[in-house]
Structure 1
Amino acid sequence: MITLQYIYWLAGAYLLVLAWRGGRDRSNRKRWGNAGFWGIMALMFLAGERLPSALAGAAVLALALIAGLGAMGRGGAPQARDDRKREQARALGNRLFLPALLIPGTTVALVLAAKYTGWGSWLLAADQTTVIALGLACLASVLSACLLTRRSPMYAIESSRPLVDAIGWTAILPLMLAALGSVFAATGVGDAVSSLVQWAIPVENRLAVVLAYALGMALFTMVMGNAFAAFPVMTAGIGIPLLVQGHGAEAASMAAIGMLSGYCGTLMTPMAANFNLVPVALLELDDPYAVIRAQLPTALPLLAANVVLMYLVIFR
């Protein structure tokens, strides 16, 4: 049976190759910073649960130190000429989209198979089935792209390195912020938020609580930079005690729309550096907030629509 541990090992192996190839890239002046950062990440994925807590904490501090000192840089990778790329693209046509479409298609297929078929439930562990399916889908996508372009898996990894180097430490920001959100929830921040909201608004009013939860998800996401960090705090502080227990809301739909409200905040904050600042650097835009300005006309109406949808859906 495939468990989440295999996906961790797969991710760790990829990061280990990135570290190895990055350390050998003499065109990158900061290659040892890249090698150290991705090597530590690989260690955490490959053996994190077996490391002493103190050593794991030291590894996290080392990651922060490498990133904070600006010790990571962009390296080189094998690149085909532009005319060669256009020639290959014309030859492959719309088949180029197949590897990308395999990811959602395979994920959905495996999740449904695990739920409704005997062989699927035997193949995938019941815990974190969706994450396992997504990992397998990504692997299938890479292999299909290699077959389609007649390139090796190592070439695929090497070709991904410039993008990973350009994103840098912000690639792991969602993971870190999600962990921070769990820490906040465990230390009672959710209870403090609940007390503050109960003092500030009429909690017997459904609409007021819905507004507090949806807008709170968006605002806390803007502060934290990621909806995964905001979700455990706002859901523990407002969603569960005030909406589910207080007004009988349906938890699953409330959580789904609440998370989408948080994503609206992601579109509007520079704290979401991997989403809003890295594209500015990659596209070499003059305005550092150009991506956020372009997203505002989508984020605000979508947030308003989420409030209406939440009010209409979760109490049915």
Structure 2
Amino acid sequence: MLRVEYLYWLVGALLIVSAWLNLRERRHAMGAFWLVLSAPFLFGNFVLDAHQRGSTWPAQAMGLAVIALGLLASRSRLSVREDSAEEHARRDSESLRLGNRLFMPALAIPAFTLILYFGAGALSKQGLDLLDPKALTLSALGVASLLALIAALRVTRAPAVEAIHQGRHLLDALGWAVLLPMVLATLGGVFAATGVGDAIAALTSALIPVDSRLACLLAFALGMVFFTVIMGNAFAAFPVMMAGIGLPLLIHQHGADPAILGAIGMLTGYCGTLLTPMAANFNIVPAVLLELPDQYGVIRSQVPTALTLMFANILLMLLLVFR
């Protein structure tokens, strides 16, 4: 069985290689950043096991590492390594040769993920676990990414080491912003644990007629978008809105289907991701790296899509979640 920890270790190995290459080029802050970040991927299980045994020093060390990441991020700049004239000419030549085939590996990731998820799930029911059943979706995504990497190497005919170098360059270009999804998802858990969901529930009960399915559903959907705009990530908004409105009002009081509500509700939250500069890794960093004249041009272009998708999701929830 492929345990999800193996994929974490693979990510940690890539981060160590990126750190070594940066340190070799005397980019000490960036190199140290990737080196520190590799620790939770490589030693996360050790920290968790130590915590369960009552030992606190590994978790405290990880907390110091988080502080170190913040300090190192303040010393690192978002930048793209300039290509030489020869590299630029080679890239143009290869893009013309490959054409739309360049998109095949990226499109293969979701296709492989679905096949692996449903295939491994069916085999698991027969008693054969190929992927980690505790993290089936994540395991399927990780293996799908590896298969897509192999496909990319075959399409481009590039050596395997090229994937490592290009992965490192992409990490350097994104810099600290690569952490935002994980950090914001953790923030959502912190908010839920500190009772923000209960406060949302009390506020909702005071402002809307909770006996109305439509009013509760609109409050949930619009709240997902609003909190995502504030926090920059639907993963951060979801536990708060589900604890405040989804579970007590829609599921328990009005009998909404939790699976459909969760799936479409999360997608509704992503509409907020398209609208906010807080989602810097999606909307601001690409504009900076591509040197676009309008830093918020990406967000402005996404507004019609976000609003259309939001209304479509609300309609789908009205039709499906109460069946």
TM score, norm. by length of structure 1: 0.92
1:171-182 alignment runs, 5 A limit: 171-182=178-189
CA RMSD of aligned residues (A): 1.9
Q: CA deviation at 1:162?
A: 2.9
Q: CA deviation at 1:203?
A: 0.4
CA contact under 8 A between 2:78 and 2:174: conserved in structure 1? no
Q: Which residue of 2 aligns with 1:5?
A: 5
Q: Write out per-residue CA displacement over residues 235-284 of structure 1, whole angstroms, 9 at most, x where no aligned residue.
A: 11110111000100000111111111111111111101011101211221
The yes-or-no answer on 1:185 pairing with 2:192 is yes
The alignment partner of 2:277 has SS state of coil
Q: Write out per-residue CA displacement over residues 144-195 of structure 1, whole angstroms, 9 at most, x where no aligned residue.
A: 3223333333221212333322211111100111011111111221111111
CA distance, structure 2, for counterparts of residue 171 and residue 305 of structure 1 = 30
1:148-167 alignment runs, 5 A limit: 148-167=155-174
CA distance, structure 2, for counterparts of residue 6 and residue 78 of structure 1 = 34
The yes-or-no answer on 1:215 pairing with 2:222 is yes
Q: Which residue of 2 aligns with 1:142?
A: 149
- Which of 208, 231, 239 is the matching residue for 2:238? 231
Q: Write out per-residue CA displacement over residues 106-163 of structure 1, whole angstroms, 9 at most, x where no aligned residue.
A: 2111111112236894211211111101101111222232233333332212123333
| Change in CA separation of 1:289 and 1:88 when aligned onto 2, cut-off 3 Å | closer
Q: Which residue of 2 aligns with 1:23?
A: 23
Partner AA of 1:16 in structure 2: I
Q: Which residue of 1 aligns with 2:54?
A: none
CA distance, structure 1, for counterparts of residue 98 and residue 117 of structure 2 = 30
CA contact under 8 A between 2:78 and 2:289: conserved in structure 1? no
The yes-or-no answer on 1:83 pairing with 2:89 is yes
1:232-271 alignment runs, 5 A limit: 232-271=239-278
Q: Percent identity?
A: 51
Q: CA deviation at 1:23?
A: 1.4
- Which ranges of structure 1 fall in alignment gaps of 5 or more residues? none
Partner AA of 1:6 in structure 2: Y
The yes-or-no answer on 1:111 pairing with 2:117 is yes
Q: Which residue of 1 aligns with 2:32?
A: 36
- Which of 91, 100, 106 is the matching residue for 2:106? 100
Q: CA deviation at 1:288?
A: 1.7
CA distance, structure 1, for counterparts of residue 121 and residue 266 of structure 2 = 24
CA distance, structure 1, for counterparts of residue 94 and residue 80 of structure 2 = 24
CA distance, structure 1, for counterparts of residue 100 and residue 303 of structure 2 = 32
Q: CA deviation at 1:93?
A: 4.3
CA contact under 8 A between 1:77 and 1:161: conserved in structure 2? no
CA distance, structure 1, for counterparts of residue 24 and residue 127 of structure 2 = 42
The yes-or-no answer on 1:313 pairing with 2:320 is yes
Q: Write out per-residue CA displacement over residues 31-75 of structure 1, whole angstroms, 9 at most, x where no aligned residue.
A: 1111111111111100023231111111111112222x2334536
CA distance, structure 2, for counterparts of residue 98 and residue 25 of structure 1 = 33
The yes-or-no answer on 1:70 pairing with 2:66 is no
Partner AA of 1:32 in structure 2: H
Q: CA deviation at 1:310?
A: 1.2
TM score, norm. by length of structure 2: 0.90
CA distance, structure 2, for counterparts of residue 301 and residue 159 of structure 1 = 36
CA distance, structure 1, for counterparts of residue 231 and residue 177 of structure 2 = 13
CA distance, structure 1, for counterparts of residue 298 and residue 178 of structure 2 = 18
- Which of 207, 212, 215 is the matching residue for 1:205? 212
CA contact under 8 A between 2:18 and 2:168: conserved in structure 1? yes
Aligned length: 311
Partner AA of 1:226 in structure 2: N
CA distance, structure 2, for counterparts of residue 164 and residue 45 of structure 1 = 15
**Range that drifts further, 149-158 or 288-297:** 149-158
CA contact under 8 A between 1:146 and 1:153: conserved in structure 2? yes
Q: Which residue of 1 aligns with 2:64?
A: 58
- Which ranges of structure 2 fall in alignment gaps of 5 or more residues? 48-57
| Change in CA separation of 1:86 and 1:284 when aligned onto 2, cut-off 3 Å | closer
CA distance, structure 2, for counterparts of residue 115 and residue 254 of structure 1 = 22
